[in-house]
Structure 1
Amino acid sequence: MKPFVEPSYFASFDRDKNKEKYTKNRAYYGDNPRFNVSFKLTQQATFGWNLYLEEPVEEETPLMLMTGVIRPIAAAKECLEKEGEIVAYTSFIEIPGTGMCLDRREVHDFSKYISHSCQPTCGVRLVNSGNDIPDLVVYSLHSIDASYSYAVTLNYYSMFRQNVQQYFRRNKPQHGKIFSLYERRAEFLQCLCAMPKCLGVLNVKQKEDLNDEPPEKKPKPSTSEAPKETTFGGLKLVESDKVYSIEDGKFTD
């Protein structure tokens, strides 16, 4: 049987004019590897595949590179509009200060199996790559050992926290946040990380309630009170615009 491959898949490589620009002049790390940590991929019946360390690590240890195709942030916005939140939120990561994002739909690595947690063990930093676009590197926020089950986790949805708080300020929940969202038939993303400080609700799609009664007319907020419009350019995982270097498995300024 001849396998069928959508021709547009190959055409997308021809359209990517930035490919050569952002893959040349990369720094060579063969003589001094940046990462010296081993991982294991484990499948759990309830939560699917998850990534774990095979050994304890200290605070601020570089763990792994996040790979993908570098594209303008417009690609993330287009994906959100055409393919929806599930695809866009699991595929695109913003690269701050560059106008670019990491598209992980076609090419990715084991970092895509890092689970979400409201109290994550890891964060993401920009690291010098040798060219104009820095690398995204996952690192340990604190020491990770058996007390954390060697789990590698990230907070993927911190960029939506203000959005959720704003929603519940306008819509006071009477019977708990989750029940309130179901009652209003709102589209939302529930967290199941089960951490002590779990937020419960990671994102709420802002829209008018889907009820039979027309919504009450409210006075138009002033310019200072109106929320600023933002364009989705990928999940905001990077802690700052600062670009680090890595030597002997450790960060340097």
Structure 2
Amino acid sequence: QDELLWAAVWLYIATGHQEYKAYIAGANNLGGVRQSLSWDDKFVGAQALVAKLILQGKLPNNGRHAEMRSNVESFLCNVVQHGDGRSGRLTPGGMLYLQPWSNLQDVTTAMFVLVTHADHLAAARASLQCGGVRLPPAQLVSFARSQVDYILGKNPMKMSYMVGVGKRYPLQPHHRGASLPSIRNNPGKISCGKGAQYFHRSAPNLNVIDGAIVGGPDNNDHYDDSRGNYQQGEPSTYTVAPIVGVLARLLHN
């Protein structure tokens, strides 16, 4: 249902066809207030797009549309620590923490939605209202910047969680291609069984997977740089992709 709703909003933006507008207004499941935006849960994305259309005056701020805007704004209030906490708490070092398995995937997607909605609010000369607290767009962008700074090294471990960036970063990401030698240095065939000897090495990966973001530290800001620690050390495209948009926004500022 999240995929269909997300698709309907994008198709309405692209075509303006009323059938897609009607689908959005009549959807049985709008997602409610989600905990995160992820590869397997797109409701927040659909809600953010509908909120944008409302702020632009292209959809009415009532009924199901208003409900979707309220949902995404409640999600963002939780993210910036002015809600009920369903979308994570800050670690002692200041990282948004939601889950032990690849937590940074939720951080980067949340920051992407945050800076995007901040710009939509700014264009409409509006702010995010979290109960009795009014948060201007600039404050939302500032929060996103703090999370990016954390990922890139401003944290208790003094480690960049983006591989290849800074003086200290994970040397043993849980990534098959990075842990094996390159074909240039080792042209012989490496069977699946022989790959184990590289996996269990305590030395750094033989290939530096530049730009990858690992899962990240735990709720006490601790990171165990071990190849077998897949919960913290596994990189993913769905962690890197959102931060590209966030960085573009911060650099634009």
Same fold per superposition (TM over 0.5): no
TM-score (norm 2): 0.26
* More strand by percentage: 1
TM-score (norm 1): 0.26
